[in-house]
A = this chain, B = another copy of it.
Amino acid sequence: MTKNVLILPGDGIGPEIVEQAVRVLDQVNASFDLNIEHESALVGGSAYDETGSPLPEVTLDKAKAANAILLGAVGGPKWDGLDMSVRPEKGLLGLRSNLELFANLRPAILYPQLADASSLKHEIVAGLDILIVRELTGGIYFGQPRGIRTLENGERQGYNTYVYSESEIRRIARSAFEAARQRNKRVCSIDKSNVLEVTVLWKEVMEEVAKEYPDVELSHMLVDNAAMQLVRAPKQFDVMVTGNMFGDILSDAAAMLTGSIGMLPSASLNAEGRGMYEPCHGSAPDIAGQGKANPLATILSVAMMLRYSLEAKEAADAIETAVSNVLDQGLRTADIASEGCTTVSTAQMGDAVLAAL
């Protein structure tokens, strides 16, 4: 049966990194006989420029029909002045919520070949391998009411609502426990239950769901402490699970611990395991179009996509091995450049992965 992949290059460096990732996808598609077809569509700022919407109907329809989605990145200063409702980010948020991609898996892995890139001491991060499970379709990102209103005294007031229901918490808890079962069987749930009622409920539901997973250990940590512990001793964590906003902050901090955010893929899954795959990094408008960007996070996102949504574990393994080989060869894009290594362009990095496959 044919599998459909929707390619969403997006903005900034999106198109150039996605181009390399698609070459890799095409090659494993041929060599592993995967029967994958793909087409592209617009999203984000580039979609707004062409259609007036960051998430055109046709893109959303194609996304709903696809077996999996590969996204580059969205956003850039060009669109900063736009009204919130049509900003590039709304394209991304619209995809997440319309497809109910509630489970965002963000691994933070230190590649041994890149250990020096970290700003942390070697012993603190050597062997780092944590997985952040972030709730992606609820919380304060989507809570109503929201907006900016004028008070009776004439001053303006901005407001957003941080809200979670039991069922929303339960399903992301299960994602975290399931993921932990495949790893070191430890889940640390992050909350601010000493201040925020919504996270009191979060903590309670985590405890409830934990009973279904007696083989997995659940602990709790306050978000401020979690931010500290990530800096102090990140290897204490296996799986961290948290809401949309805390997850946004902590997963970026965790990714940066490795010093090579240009290497980190992510998956956003719905209840059926269909998903959207994208690099952890952003659209880096400052280097867009210069052939400098690191395509490896996007290429590794293809591997995640093959593994989680397209039942092509062998092809996924092959891509990951190829990436590791390329690093062993000493090839580096500018973001991970290092003495004694060869600095290559986006396309050269793509070539090297294809050659290693």
The residues of A with any CB-CB pair to B shorter than 8 Å are 75, 84, 87, 89, 93, 119-121, 124, 140-141, 143, 146-148, 151, 155-167, 192, 194-202, 223-225, 227-228, 230-233, 245-246, 248-253, 255-257, 259, 261
Contacts and interface: CB of A to CB of B under 8 A. Distances in A.
A157 B166 contact: yes
Contacts of A245: 192
Given A249-B227, A253-B231, A198 B120 contact: no
A140 B232 CA distance: 27
A260 to B, nearest CB: 11
Given A120-B119, A121-B120, A160 B231 contact: no
Nearest to A281: B228
Contacts of A248: 192, 223-224
A124 B121 CA distance: 10
A157 B119 contact: no
18 contacts: A84-B200, A119-B124, A120-B231, A140-B162, A141-B195, A141-B196, A156-B165, A156-B201, A158-B196, A159-B197, A159-B198, A160-B162, A224-B248, A224-B251, A231-B231, A231-B253, A231-B257, A246-B249
A54 B197 CA distance: 18
A228 B253 contact: yes
Of all A-B residue pairs in the complex, the 6 with the closest CB atoms, nearest first, are A158-B198, A158-B201, A228-B256, A227-B253, A224-B252, A157-B165
Nearest to A198: B158
Given A224-B252, A252-B227, A252-B228, A155 B148 contact: no
Given A84-B200, A121-B121, 5 more contacts: A119-B233, A146-B197, A158-B199, A224-B252, A228-B256
Nearest to A255: B228
- Centre residue among A141, A155, A199 by max chain B CB count within 10 A: A155
A10 to B, nearest CB: 14
Given A225-B252, A249-B223, A256-B232, A162 B161 contact: yes
B161 A202 contact: no
A270 B245 CA distance: 29
A102 to B, nearest CB: 16
Given A228-B253, A231-B231, A163 B167 contact: no
Nearest to A79: B194
A334 B159 CA distance: 44
A248 B222 CA distance: 11
Nearest to A257: B231
A313 to B, nearest CB: 31
A350 B124 CA distance: 32
